Structure 1
Amino acid sequence: MWCSHDWNMGRGGGKTTLASYVYSEFSRDFVGCCFVENIREKSSKNGLEQLQGKILSDVLKPNQEQVGGVEEGKHMIKDRLCHRKVLIVLDDVDHLEQLEALAGSHDWFGEGSLVIITTRDEHLLNVHKVDLIHKVSLLNKDESMELFCKHAPWGDRRIEDYELLTLSEVFAEKLDNTATLHKSCVT
């Protein structure tokens, strides 16, 4: 499969968390892997060349690849990864030029490769002609509680609403203290 993509949720909807889970579960099945987080911010701050270099460096370990320009980076990715089965996650993509620079077409990567793209914009996925679009929905209250309890330190035991309220008060108090401490350290 060439691409699987997640979209449909706004900020905080769990797209990155889901992509991270898939990455951690399946990365051992690939020759090389790379998880590029927060492309929206990093591409505007550091440029696409740095993100292209990250993909090359992560997949071709231990080589640290330097990319001189976006076009050079496109050729380097295609030439060096076209015979490798890779898993690449492109997180929080918001412009077509990002997709074109980081995962231009099917022939950039070897057979069996998987590119996962998280985005808030379904149009980008359609224009880029992806193979599979997976729409991710938000969890309802019960599903959220089940997931929370599964990863909580006390195990799968369901907690009652009053216990959750107590926990949230403790977290809020800790966060407030942390924010106060951080503020005093900065000023």
Structure 2
Amino acid sequence: MEMIGAGTSETRIIGIHGMGGIGKTTAAKMIYNKLSHDFDIVAFFKIFEKHQKVMAFNTYKLSSSLTSSKQNGYKDIHEGTQMIKDRLSNKRVLFLLDDVEQANHIDALVGKRDWLGKGSKIIITTRKKDILEVPEVDYSYELSAMDVDQSLQLFSKHAFRKDYPLDKYIGQSKRAIGIAGGLPLALEIIGSLLCHTKRKCGISH
């Protein structure tokens, strides 16, 4: 937060990388939502490789004149690039580029720093660390898997609505977190599934 804070006058590009399900998007959205009120224009871009389409979601101060009529979508990377060059130049913007898989997506949507107003911020999430190893990216951070204690606590909150399972469920819980491998999303899903089958495992409200 300190490196990308809205109070800094430099244009900065920050990357978050890590394996799928580790919580990259969740972490990036927390930063994005906290900072969004301090920028002229904000947009959350999701890239769909299968359809070669760039989508802008959850726009905050992005007026309808800056987006297409079809769910704020752009038919390809080049259209998104042209929109940024033509309409967002000299604006102080906050962009979140989620789940970037190719380096050319960063080039297309971020382009040259002089496209954007001073103090603009870009947040990028990706599974591929090497995508962030370019001069354009100022800082990159890796999200790692949760340790055993963190995993047990997160799993227990979803499975038992408690910070720690009852003694009779310790063995079952440890097997579950072993399967999840420290991935927050997997822990939440397995815990929620267990909670929904509480009658079978003898869990009561």
Q: TM-score, normalised by structure 1?
A: 0.69
Instruction: Tell whether 2:127 aligns with 1:120.
Output: yes
Following superposition, the deviation at residue 62 of structure 1 comes to 2.7
Q: Is the Cα contact below 8 Å between 2:42 and 2:62 reproduced in 1?
A: no
Bigger fraction of residues in helix: 1
How far apart in 2 are the matches of 1:153 and 1:173? 6
Give deviations 1:55-104, integer Å, cap 9, x for gaps. 7x765313253457644542320232122221111111111221122111
Which residue type is aligned with residue 25 of structure 1? Answer: K
Which residue type is aligned with residue 50 of structure 2? Answer: S
Q: CA RMSD in A?
A: 3.4
1:120-139 equivalence runs, <5 A? 120-127=127-134, 129-139=136-146
Give deviations 1:150-178, integer Å, cap 9, x for gaps. 89996xx6323546858967724738xxx
Aligned to 1:180: none
Structure 1 outlier segments of 4+, above 3 Å: 66-73, 144-154, 161-170, 172-175
Gaps of 5+ in 2: 1-10, 69-73, 174-187, 198-205
Instruction: Tell whether 2:169 aligns with 1:159.
Output: no
Aligned to 2:196: 174
Counting aligned pairs with the same residue, the percent is: 32
Gaps of 5+ in 1: 176-187
Aligned to 2:114: 107
Following superposition, the deviation at residue 36 of structure 1 comes to 2.0
Aligned to 1:181: none
Question: Which of residues 9, 16, 23 is equivalent to 1:6?
Answer: 16
Which residue type is aligned with residue 12 of structure 2? Answer: W
Following superposition, the deviation at residue 13 of structure 1 comes to 1.1
Q: TM-score, normalised by structure 2?
A: 0.64
How far apart in 2 are the matches of 1:142 and 1:30? 38
Q: 1:115 to 1:12 in 2, by over 3 A?
A: same
How far apart in 1 are the matches of 2:194 and 2:37? 38
Aligned with 1:129: secondary structure?
coil
Aligned to 2:50: 44
Larger RCO of the pair (alpha carbons < 8 Å, separation 6+)? 1
